[in-house]
Amino acid sequence: MDFSIKAFDTKNTLAAAKSGCIAVAVYENKKLSQAAKALDQGGEITAALKSGDITGKPGSTLLLRGVSGAAAARVLLVGVGADEAISEKSFASSVSAALKAFAALGSTDAIIALPMLDVKARDLAWSMRCVVMTATEAEFRTDGQKFKKDPAITGVRKLTIAADGGAATKTLLAQAIAVANGASLTKELGNLSANICTPTYLANTAKKLAADYGFDIEVLERKQLEALKMGSFLSVTRGSEEAPKFIVLKHMGGKAKDAPVVLVGKGITFDTGGISLKAGPGMDEMKYDMCGAGSVLGTFRAIGEMGLKLNVIGIVAACENMPSGRATKPGDIVSSMNGLTIEVLNTDAEGRLVLCDALTYAERFNPACVVDIATLTGACVVALGHHNSGLFTRADDACEQLADDLLAAGKQSGDTAWRLPISEAYNEQLKSNFADLANIGSPGGASCTAAAFLENFTRKYTWAHLDIAGTAWKSGGAKGATGRPVPLLTTFLMNRV
């Protein structure tokens, strides 16, 4: 969808705007928004409210044609609730309802003139992103691998947002579009079948991003990983015919001497569990085990598109976890890049084996902070469901501040996280008789022990871990990648600027 902004005033009035449709808000107490009043010169909108044809409840709509006070062919009345101080949920519902109505129109253009500044505890940036993300989500297609494509998208294709047309507002729109495009890339990668979205495919996607947005890129191959002594990462890929790829993207938008933020994504393009084989039902969803990597690439698309003035480095550790005669076995002991040895008690706890070497590699950038993103544990889904990503970090001052910043970015973007604990008690569960660490802990607190495992490889910098196992994709009839946590990550990075 094409988005634009237009300011309507006494000279260029909303009533005089020529459009296929204008969406305006009405309230449950039969009051009209300012935009609705501007189009009600003939009283048709007031009459519709009084007649009860529309209640004003959030998400209710009524399409009017031939409104005498509007040059537009249609006026869409959209309910936003009882008060002019609209709730976040009510506004999101009204936006979704408006866009659904637009999709059924014969017109290709429309104006959305909802009260963007009247959402409780939210600003124009949030409202703008709500409109753009909802519109982009509505037109997102999952038929890329179908021979018989879904019907072509019809209805409104050009959406004008009624708002102040100044430079600052246009920047907000551009940022919202960039975040939406980044989330769409993450969804596209997540939804691709694993025979297409291989480690090589992720590397090629990163190369295209680098070419499009001027990033520096390096892709390390197996021999280079062996030279770096990434024995933990390489232990996961032993059973696969697909070559591992260690992808490093650099967006150096800040000052040359500024320490970068490093994002580290788990990129298991398919996870069978290895020798510790997963159950067959639902294993198809293990193509989503690269959503941490996908979110790093999606975030890079967003910050590249908006030209973010910040130094950001993305690391994607990509491979498959497959069973074969060469595969790592339960009980094997492997050496990580930082020298710690790991007893692999369960080959299905592979994400941490990949991430630990990537987190050690991140040290060379002298980072301002490091955030790793991974579909790491089913236990996080048990703890938090599909609403919040799990956030873990140490209790020192720098890590506490990083956690606060990430939680705030989650609330700001609507892509929320919830903090869970790690402490030395969880490290006690990871003790091994034969190695420095076991890759799984004794029973209980599995998402916490996984985070505690990673923390052993992050003590030279400020670090946080996001477990997105419950938020990166949906199962069931709505099966598919969600694009999370791209909104959280991009908001976090934008706030640092």
What does R_g of the chain's alpha carbons equal in angstroms? Answer: 25
320-326-329-334 Cα dihedral, nearest 10 degrees: -80
d(CA 301, CA 304): 5
d(CA 255, CA 234): 35
Angle between helices 486-496 and 167-191 (to 10 degrees): 140
Instruction: Judge contact between 133 and 179, C-beta under 8 A.
Output: yes
**CA angle centred on 387, ends 382 and 393, rounded to 5°:** 75
352 classed as catalytic: yes
278 classed as catalytic: yes
**CA angle centred on 142, ends 141 and 144, rounded to 5°:** 95
d(CA 222, CA 246): 9
Q: Which amino acid is at 60?
A: S
Listed residue (100, 131, 126) closest to 114, CA to CA: 131
Listed residue (434, 463, 465) closest to 449, CA to CA: 465
Catalytic residue among 287, 352, 394, 484: 352
Measured in degrees and rounded to the nearest 5, phi and psi for residue 381 equal: -65, -40
Instruction: Judge contact between 195 and 36, C-beta under 8 A.
Output: no
Q: Which residues pair with 57 in a beta bridge?
A: none
d(CA 345, CA 433): 12
Q: Is 51 exposed, middle or buried (0-12, 13-18, 19+ CB in 10 A)?
A: exposed
Tokens of 157: 């294709």
d(CA 220, CA 222): 7
Catalytic residue among 207, 222, 278, 419: 278
Alpha-helix residue ranges (DSSP H) falling in 1-123: 34-38, 44-51, 88-103
**What is the SS3 assignment for 169-201?**
HHHHHHHHHHHHHHHHHHHHHHHCCCCCCCHHH
Catalytic (active-site) positions: 278, 352
